[in-house]
């Protein structure tokens, strides 16, 4: 039986375990990336391990999230990251060099290699045939220290692409169609592999758009073959020597197969407030638009920007629309400036942002009250834009550009052949890595600079025999990490200050949650299905840990957040019977008796609802290694124990 793409890379990097779906494996990590929203905490954790230099082939620290410097906090974090990176052998991508995923794709990603990133959209690297996985900062810190990355061996879902995209239909529409088919939960436990005749019609940036948004259906990662299209892209980046062809075996076996007929796709839209609330442009209709944002790690490539410039050339943005554009990297911005495309955008009335995440994460450009905002980013969760009443629709750059002109949501197919948006990938990109700082030759050469905003992170204690507390909150389905730990322009500067952030935990769901948690000395969180979807931000586990949260009991978890809870020693429990969700109310007193023994020995677990005098069976999915991590009170404690016992 042959191997799939992902199975080939996993086999090459396998450290422990067997490639049997559902079993725990560990793999060697070749490259890591961090960004400044999650990076400060990852490097504080790396320092706590006491390792002088990273053990990876290449690790890069990017500054692309907290670039709005309204006070000293962000600049202090940037200086800390720059100095700690220099000390420990990590390359530093300066503010303005671009969004981590765009730059990693352009300058560092290699087919066949493994990449672990402290950002949920790290799977963007699958666009050039990498096994690229998003994870929590502590997992990335361990990988930088040479440790293996542990995951449950995923199943493999084949996404067969048939035909070829028509004019005005884009890679964004491909991934929106996949989300329409399988939902924001349908990729959990899977790696998505793209294949079929349609693959050869897609450029690397188009493939990267698709793998980037694979994070939205909960998949471990997504991947395209590395082929001649990949070779040409790397050659144009001056990196042809990094090319390796990787194709699945002809007799590879897949656990599930879905099909997308590119010929039949039309421009699609994800309606508020979920990426899988997908409909056609025509069905949504010509709603009035207040704001348009073109950019983010999903759609900020040179190819995307050139098509937008062609649409805007000679036109004027509608007077009721604010159009903002954020090129994804310095390379992209340079090339747009040199060929005149940037001037066409500016002339049309677009506001040009720096090469950073920006509006996608609520870092500036929040819409007005009750606004309709069209955005090319990957998420439209409630309140993520920074304006709670805004309605955010996810669209392609082409839909965004024509809608900015018309003032209403517009199907670009209405333009027919009146605008030429044809584009050929350049034979040579403008390569200038002068905004990437190499690390110091020796750790002794660098003093790490720590500003006053950088506070110690919380570390759990060993799991007790009995855990008890109050049910502090009861939440619905699809609670995102944006709900658990908001990430707007006001809070992002405090990503290295857990005590400060604790006042805002779960505030979008219940502004009184933090106060209630502190008054009760911690307790339990109860939730519905897909708890913790979205960003990889470890703060969504660290802040609850600081508040004394002992366990989360829900119907199901998103993959990365569940791993982050385990890494921080918070029990991730699921109802054995989902209907038992109705048997716990906020304020109920809950007890887990003998939980340490039950965790270590894999015994059945029962939650006693003392208030209602009932017992509720719950489950926990842990490997033998994870059982010992939970007992130790988290991965950092466990790692220290392993080192001291070796």
pLDDT digits (tens, 9 = 90+) for 27-43: 999 999 999 988 898 99
61 Rama sector, left if φ>0, alpha if ψ -120 to 50, beta otherwise:
beta
Residue 493: closest CA among 503, 485, 501 = 501
pLDDT tens digit sequence for 557-610: 998 899 999 999 999 999 999 999 999 999 999 999 999 999 999 999 999 999
Q: Tell if the pTM clears 0.75, that is, is over it.
A: yes
Question: Domains along the chain?
Answer: 5-264 (3.30.499.10), 268-413 (3.30.499.10), 467-645 (3.20.19.10)
Cβ atoms of residues 574 and 532 within 8 Å: no
What secondary structure letter does DSSP report for 105? I
Output the pLDDT for position 384.
85
Residue 489 pLDDT:
76
Contacts of 13 (CB under 8 A, 6+ apart): 27, 28, 29, 30, 114, 131
Q: Give the three-class secondary structure for 152.
A: strand
Taking the C-alpha atoms of residue 212 and residue 238, their distance in angstroms, rounded to an integer, is: 23
Residues 137/485, Cβ–Cβ less than 8 Å: no
Nearest one of 239, 236, 17 to 113, comparing CA atoms: 239
Residue 205 and residue 394: Cα distance in Å, rounded? 18
Residue 143 has pLDDT above 90, yes or no: yes
Strand partners, 549: 523
Sheet holding 155-162, edge to edge: 221-223, 190-195, 155-162, 256-261
| 617 DSSP assignment | E
Is pLDDT of 644 > 80? no
Q: Which of 388, 383, 295, 356 is nearest to 68 (CA)?
A: 356
- What strands lie across the sheet with 322-325, from one edge to the other? 278-280, 268-270, 391-394, 372-375, 291-294, 322-325, 351-352
Q: Do residues 622 and 631 lie in contact, with contact meaning Cβ atoms separated by under 8 Å?
A: no
**Tokens matching residue 87:** 């000390």
SS3 486: coil
Average the pLDDT over 240-269 and give the result: 97
> Which pLDDT belongs to residue 209?
98
The span from the first CA to the last CA of the chain, in angstroms, equals 39
Overall average pLDDT of the 257-267 stretch: 98
pLDDT confidence of residue 457: 85
> Is 152 a residue whose pLDDT tops 70?
yes
Give the pLDDT of residue 645.
67
Confidence of residue 456 (pLDDT cuts 50, 70, 90): confident
DSSP letters for 15-42: EES-S-TTSEEEE---EEEEEHHHHHHH
Q: What angle do CA 19, 22, 25 make, to 5 degrees?
A: 45
For 261, the 3-state DSSP assignment is: strand
68's torsion region: left (phi>0), alpha (psi -120 to 50) or beta? Answer: beta
At 360 the pLDDT is 84
Classify residue 507 as exposed, middle or buried by CB count within 10 Å of its CB (0-12, 13-18, 19+): middle
Give per-residue pLDDT as tens, 331-370.
Answer: 999 999 999 999 999 999 999 999 998 888 877 888 999 9
Residue 442, C-beta contacts closer than 8 angstroms, at least 6 positions apart: none
Query: By percentage, how much of the chain surpasses pLDDT 70?
Result: 99
511-520 mean pLDDT: 97
CB of 279 within 8 A of CB of 361?
no
- 409 phi and psi angles, rounded to 5 deg: -60, 125
Q: Which of 436, 329, 374, 346 is nearest to 85 (CA)?
A: 436
List the structure tokens of 13: 């990097």
As separate numbers, helices (DSSP H) first and strands (DSSP E) second, the chain gives 21, 27
Q: Is the pLDDT of residue 68 over 90?
A: no
3-state SS, 410-452, equals CCHHHHCCCCCCCCCCCCCCCCCCCCEECCCCCHHHCCCCCCC
Rounded CA-CA distance 438/446 in Å is 13
Residue owning tokens 């855990």: 467
What percent of the chain has a predicted confidence (pLDDT) above 90? 86
What is the four-CA torsion angle of 336, 432, 361, 110, rounded to 10 degrees? 110
Helix 137-144 / helix 36-48 crossing angle, nearest 10 deg: 50
Residue 556: strand, helix, or coil: coil
Do the Cβ atoms of 543 and 460 come closer than 8 Å?
Answer: no
Q: Are 143 and 33 in contact (CB under 8 A)?
A: no
Is residue 554 a contact partner of residue 561, using CB atoms and an 8 Å limit?
no
Tokens 């052949």 sit at which residue? 417
CA angle 623, 627, 629 (to 5 degrees): 110
If you write DSSP's letter for every residue of 519-538 in order, what string do you get? HTT-EEEE--SSBTBS---T
| pLDDT at residue 646 greater than cutoff 80 | no
- Give the list of residues 6+ apart from residue 236 with CB closer than 8 angstroms, or none: 425, 426, 427, 428, 429
CA angle, 332 as apex, 347 and 165 as ends, to 5°? 90
- Tabulate helix, strand, coil % of the chain (nearest 5): 35, 20, 45
């Amino acid at each position: 039986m042959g191997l799939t793409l992902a199975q080939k890379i996993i086999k090459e990097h396998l450290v422990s375990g067997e490639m049997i779906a559902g079993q725990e494996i560990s793999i060697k990590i070749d490259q890591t990336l961090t960004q400044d929203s999650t990076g400060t905490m990852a490097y504080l954790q790396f320092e706590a391990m006491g390792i002088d230099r990273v053990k990876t082939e290449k690790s890069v620290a990017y500054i692309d999230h907290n670039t709005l410097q309204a006070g000293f906090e962000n600049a202090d974090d940037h200086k800390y990251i720059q100095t700690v990176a220099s000390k420990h052998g990590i390359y530093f991508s300066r503010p303005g060099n671009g969004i981590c995923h765009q730059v990693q794709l352009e300058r560092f990603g290699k087919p066949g290699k493994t990449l672990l990133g402290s950002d949920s959209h790290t799977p963007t690297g699958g666009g050039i045939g990498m096994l690229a996985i998003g994870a929590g900062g502590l997992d990335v810190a361990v990988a930088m220290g040479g440790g293996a990355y542990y995951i449950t061996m995923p199943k493999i879902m084949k996404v067969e692409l048939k035909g070829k995209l028509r004019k005005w239909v884009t890679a964004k529409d491909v991934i929106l169609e996949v989300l329409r088919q399988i939902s924001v939960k349908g990729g959990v436990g899977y790696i998505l592999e793209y294949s079929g005749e349609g693959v050869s019609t897609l450029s690397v940036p188009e493939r990267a758009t698709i793998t980037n948004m694979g994070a939205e259906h909960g998949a471990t990662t997504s991947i395209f073959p590395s082929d001649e299209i990949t070779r040409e892209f790397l050659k144009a980046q001056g990196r042809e020597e990094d090319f390796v062809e990787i194709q699945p075996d002809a007799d590879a076996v897949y656990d599930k197969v879905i099909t997308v007929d590119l010929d039949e796709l039309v421009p699609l839209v994800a309606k508020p407030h979920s990426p899988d609330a997908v409909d056609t442009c025509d069905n949504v209709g010509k709603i009035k638009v207040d704001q348009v944002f073109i950019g983010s790690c999903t759609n900020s490539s040179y190819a995307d920007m050139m098509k937008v410039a062609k649409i805007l050339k000679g036109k004027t943005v509608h007077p009721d629309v604010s159009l903002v554009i954020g090129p994804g990297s310095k390379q992209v911005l340079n090339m747009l400036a040199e060929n005149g495309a940037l001037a066409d955008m500016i002339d049309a009335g677009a506001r040009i942002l720096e090469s950073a995440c920006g509006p996608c994460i609520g870092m500036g450009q929040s819409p007005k009250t009750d606004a309709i905002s069209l955005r090319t980013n990957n998420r439209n969760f409630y309140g993520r834009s920074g304006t709670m009443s805004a309605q955010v629709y996810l669209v392609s750059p082409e839909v965004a550009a024509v809608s900015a002109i018309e003032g209403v949501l517009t199907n670009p197919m209405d333009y027919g052949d009146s605008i030429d948006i044809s584009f050929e990938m350049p034979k040579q990109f403008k390569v200038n890595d002068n905004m990437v700082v190499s690390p110091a030759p020796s750790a002794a050469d660098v003093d790490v600079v720590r500003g006053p905003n950088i506070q110690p992170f919380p570390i759990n204690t060993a799991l007790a025999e009995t855990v008890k507390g109050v049910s502090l909150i009861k939440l619905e389905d699809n609670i995102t990490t944006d709900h658990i730990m908001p990430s707007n322009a006001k809070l992002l500067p405090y990503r290295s200050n857990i005590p400060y952030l604790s006042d805002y935990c779960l505030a979008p769901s219940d502004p009184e949650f933090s106060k209630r948690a502190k008054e009760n000395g911690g307790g339990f969180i109860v939730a519905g299905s897909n708890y913790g979807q979205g960003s990889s931000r470890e703060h969504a586990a660290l802040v609850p840990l600081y508040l004394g949260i002992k366990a989360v009991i829900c119907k199901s978890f998103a993959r990365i957040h569940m791993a982050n809870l385990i890494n921080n020693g918070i029990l991730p429990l699921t109802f054995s019977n989902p209907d038992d969700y109705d048997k716990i109310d906020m304020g109920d007193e809950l007890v887990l008796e003998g939980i340490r023994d039950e965790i270590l020995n894999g015994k059945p677990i029962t939650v006693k609802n003392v208030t209602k005098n009932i017992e509720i069976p719950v489950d926990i999915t842990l490997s033998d290694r994870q059982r010992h991590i939970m007992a130790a009170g988290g991965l950092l404690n466990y790692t220290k124990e392993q080192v001291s016992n070796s």
